[in-house]
Structure 1
């Protein structure tokens, strides 16, 4: 069978009757097989030169493009107790619809007439402000009257001082005249005395001169007395002037002190009024927080707080709402080595979980079940999972993503890059090299800009 011996048995045995001889018989290679191998090798060589679209793969999930339309928790703004639910999970609500009613648990707000009583207190405080205003006006009038009276009284006292000065001047003249008359009378008396001694004048004439001298002396003493009295009147007038000034100054200062005290009380009352207004506004706003309403239209997805009579704290989540009017987007994550290849405006093909698709990553044209997207944002910092987050939004004519999408469902993205031959892509994958770095049209790197400047 192995044809080791030089003696064969082909001539002695009919080998065609036995199948085993046919299996080990030497056969000539088939020409068809050779042609097939040559054609296959040529086809592979030709295929290796076909274009292949490089891409970056990233997985993620569906989200909302606008942060305001993403799922949000509705929190309680006050401490309270759940009294009544108005919705159920899965229900559609319009903006402003009541979701839950909360009652008070703090004793500071138990009074059912709290707002009414606070308004009454505020009204009384405002009336006290009016009273303070009237008192300040009355004190202003009083101060004006005191100033006017002081002006008149001071003018009157100054006139008294002027009169006293004029009287002193007149009495001084009378006093000088009296001195002069006395001197004349004394000289006449002395001459009359000499003439009497010589016998030329009678005793009667001498006595007459003595009488006149005594009269002149009396007038001089009277004029001196009047002058002193006038001087005392001047002093009294000055004292009266000072007294009037001091008296009305004291009255004026007291009235101004009362005015300042009233103004201070007015400001304190005004501060209290503003505090009570603020308190009243807080009470009124707090009453509005008893009814938790939908901030926007959407679907109730999950009730975090359940039951009736359960106490809640301010800031605790009550329920989760999913807005209805949203624009979908995909959050996909790419490794740091591929991050420099991503640019805003980059085309991305999206594959959603649950939608049938046939994907040829290198030939996106013949892929089926993928949706068109465009990179709208790339995070500047790395995420906790060690990758960079890329936000992709619908774009192009194929940007009508399925209406049945839900936020949070899985998605895979293919960011399309350069077109290269298949053999180059195989070589790159074998060596573990990243895709070729390139810039989209209309964008230039810093190095290129620097070269142009040079």
Structure 2
């Protein structure tokens, strides 16, 4: 062995030997064969891995961080001057809190005037109602009711007017009533006289007949007979006159009763008309008062939602505010931020609710500071036209946490920041990345003319 190794030929000398002997004496290096096998095994492993391994399918798009709920623009419903500003830029405000108060001097004066007018009309209504009750109560005075909310001076003045008016009516009524009482008295007197005549007339007639018989027998004087005849005739005429007078007075009495009834009816009718007009006026005053009260409430500008004050357009007291003027904006609570992404039309078909999303905030380098995670929860049904992106659909993404790692500290993102979102729309086997282009090429080549 040693001898052979001593006399072993050099590698260059093998080249001058016959081919078969050269191959026998200098076989190929096993390293090349080993490398070949390693490459074959490696490629086979890659192919097998690509068949079974899967990667996420990502749809990337741009978006913006927004509050979960629209930013509410606060406007004034009335014109006026600023009296008080309760919240400043960046301060948190609860829903229903008063943001700004406008000066209420003018509206308060108008409300006070309306209340005074309403008090006067209501007090007058009470007086007229008391007149109606007095008429029903056979002119026995029923005093007007006094309501506590009506000022005392107004109630007192209307009570005096009531007393004056009802006294005037009762006086006129009593004049006519006295006439009726006189008629009744005269009728009673006439009836007494008639009763007396009816009792004495038979006696007078009897005396007349007695004197007539004596006169016919020439036992009495003619003058006595004629005297008693005259007494009978006078009594009969007086009886007739009294009966006629009673009939006339009864007719007059009925007319007087009708006059008294008509006076009450007319007074009742006139009072009811005045009450009806007053009720209409009171209703108008009440409606005006309600509107003024509502208008006064509008002088306090209320926050429609809980959130943070932004874009405050007023800064000092006394500034003028007009109707529909933007005063400020209320941004909803920062704990409820979402991402609104604009997904191209070609990718929207793969987007579904509850898909995982990686959110890269453009302000912070995601390689250094990381990224946020979230899930899709709302996909618009209609597209919009974007000047740069073309036809896009809005996709809303719920952020799991709005904190991001910034130099070892948790920084809070805020509304308005731009982001890039990677939506995981599914998984794909790695081999499909190589096979799909081949399939597409074959399909397109077969379909060509």
**Fold shared by both chains (TM-score > 0.5):** yes
Matches of 2:195 and 2:317 in 1, distance apart? 107
Q: 1:128 aligns with which of 98, 110, 120?
A: 120
Secondary structure at the aligned position of 1:237 is classed as helix
Partner of 1:45: 47
2:263 maps to 1:250: yes
Q: How far has the Cα of 1:321 moved from its partner?
A: 5.7
Secondary structure at the aligned position of 1:204 is classed as coil
Q: 2:243 aligns with which of 230, 236, 243?
A: 230
Secondary structure at the aligned position of 1:46 is classed as helix
Q: How far has the Cα of 1:46 moved from its partner?
A: 1.2
Matches of 1:309 and 1:122 in 2, distance apart? 27
Matches of 1:310 and 1:114 in 2, distance apart? 16
Q: How far has the Cα of 1:331 moved from its partner?
A: 1.4
Partner of 2:135: 143
Q: How far has the Cα of 1:330 moved from its partner?
A: 1.5
Is contact 1:394–1:401 with CA below 8 Å preserved after alignment? no
Secondary structure at the aligned position of 2:51 is classed as coil
Q: Kindly provide the CA deviation profile for residues 30-53 of structure 1, in whole angstroms up to 9, marking residues without a partner as x.
A: 545643553354234213312425
Matches of 2:330 and 2:78 in 1, distance apart? 19
Matches of 2:312 and 2:422 in 1, distance apart? 37
Matches of 1:320 and 1:53 in 2, distance apart? 44
Secondary structure at the aligned position of 2:412 is classed as coil
Matches of 2:284 and 2:373 in 1, distance apart? 63
Matches of 2:62 and 2:403 in 1, distance apart? 16
Secondary structure at the aligned position of 1:326 is classed as helix
Matches of 1:298 and 1:306 in 2, distance apart? 17
Is contact 1:93–1:299 with CA below 8 Å preserved after alignment? yes
Matches of 1:253 and 1:400 in 2, distance apart? 82
Give structure 2 stretches of 5+ with no counterpart: 1-14, 16-27, 141-169, 405-410, 441-449
Partner of 1:422: 430
Matches of 1:219 and 1:229 in 2, distance apart? 15
Partner of 1:378: 379
Partner of 2:354: 345
Give structure 1 stretches of 5+ with no counterpart: 1-13, 15-26, 194-200, 359-367, 433-454
Secondary structure at the aligned position of 2:335 is classed as coil
Q: How far has the Cα of 1:232 moved from its partner?
A: 3.7
Is contact 1:54–1:420 with CA below 8 Å preserved after alignment? yes
RMSD: 5.8
Relative to structure 1, the CA distance from residue 53 to residue 282 in structure 2 (aligned partners, 3 Å threshold; closer, same or farther) is same
Matches of 2:60 and 2:137 in 1, distance apart? 90
Partner of 2:394: 389
Is contact 2:402–2:412 with CA below 8 Å preserved after alignment? no
Secondary structure at the aligned position of 1:125 is classed as helix
Q: How far has the Cα of 1:139 moved from its partner?
A: 1.9
Relative to structure 1, the CA distance from residue 337 to residue 325 in structure 2 (aligned partners, 3 Å threshold; closer, same or farther) is closer
Relative to structure 1, the CA distance from residue 212 to residue 136 in structure 2 (aligned partners, 3 Å threshold; closer, same or farther) is same
Relative to structure 1, the CA distance from residue 136 to residue 185 in structure 2 (aligned partners, 3 Å threshold; closer, same or farther) is same
Residues 219-298 of structure 1: pairs in structure 2 closer than 5 A: 219=232, 222-223=235-236, 226-227=239-240, 229-258=242-271, 260-261=273-274, 264-265=277-278, 267-268=280-281, 271-272=284-285, 275=288, 278-279=291-292, 282=295, 286=299, 288=300, 298=308
Partner of 1:327: 336
Q: How far has the Cα of 1:134 moved from its partner?
A: 4.9
Matches of 2:216 and 2:197 in 1, distance apart? 37
Partner of 1:95: 93
Is contact 2:67–2:332 with CA below 8 Å preserved after alignment? no
Matches of 1:208 and 1:85 in 2, distance apart? 126
Relative to structure 1, the CA distance from residue 227 to residue 428 in structure 2 (aligned partners, 3 Å threshold; closer, same or farther) is farther
Q: How far has the Cα of 1:233 moved from its partner?
A: 0.8
Is contact 2:305–2:330 with CA below 8 Å preserved after alignment? no
Q: How far has the Cα of 1:371 moved from its partner?
A: 4.0
Q: Kindly provide the CA deviation profile for residues 357-385 of structure 1, in whole angstroms up to 9, marking residues without a partner as x.
A: 57xxxxxxxxx955432222222333344
User: TM-score, with normalisation over the residues of structure 1?
Assistant: 0.56
Q: Kindly provide the CA deviation profile for residues 228-278 of structure 1, in whole angstroms up to 9, marking residues without a partner as x.
A: 532441342133122222234224413541453256246525634663675
Secondary structure at the aligned position of 1:67 is classed as coil
Relative to structure 1, the CA distance from residue 349 to residue 157 in structure 2 (aligned partners, 3 Å threshold; closer, same or farther) is farther
